[in-house]
């Protein structure tokens, strides 16, 4: 998932990490150099749908203007959702 808008410097990475952890989803999130945010997340499809909706709303200071979702291969033995730098 690639997210655009006011998504850096507003706590979105930690917001997404907390939601993913609560939902037992795994993956990672990182800021991109062009101001967008990249999320790789895996888990139950219903929970993934809920995760996407929550991230689209984001924390109070964020504003998601657009996002794209792409399917990727499953990462085996992944055990947590982490913030990458």
**Helix 12-22 / helix 45-57 crossing angle, nearest 10 deg:** 150
Catalytic residue, chosen from 13, 24, 36, 77, is 13
Question: Residue 6 catalytic?
Answer: no
Q: Which residue has the tokens 């655009």?
A: 4
Q: Is 13 a catalytic residue?
A: yes
Catalytic residue among 6, 31, 36, 56: 31
Side-chain-facing half-sphere of 44: CA atoms under 13 Å: 8
Catalytic residue numbers? 13, 31
């Amino acid at each position: 998932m690639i997210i655009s808008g006011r998504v850096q410097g507003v706590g979105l990475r930690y917001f997404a990490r907390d939601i993913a952890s609560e939902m037992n989803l795994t993956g990672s999130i990182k800021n991109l150099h062009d101001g967008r945010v990249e999320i790789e997340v895996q888990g139950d499809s219903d929970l993934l749908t809920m995760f996407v909706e929550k991230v689209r709303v984001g924390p109070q200071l964020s504003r998601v203007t657009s996002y794209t979702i792409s399917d990727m291969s499953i990462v085996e033995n992944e055990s947590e959702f982490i913030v990458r730098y």
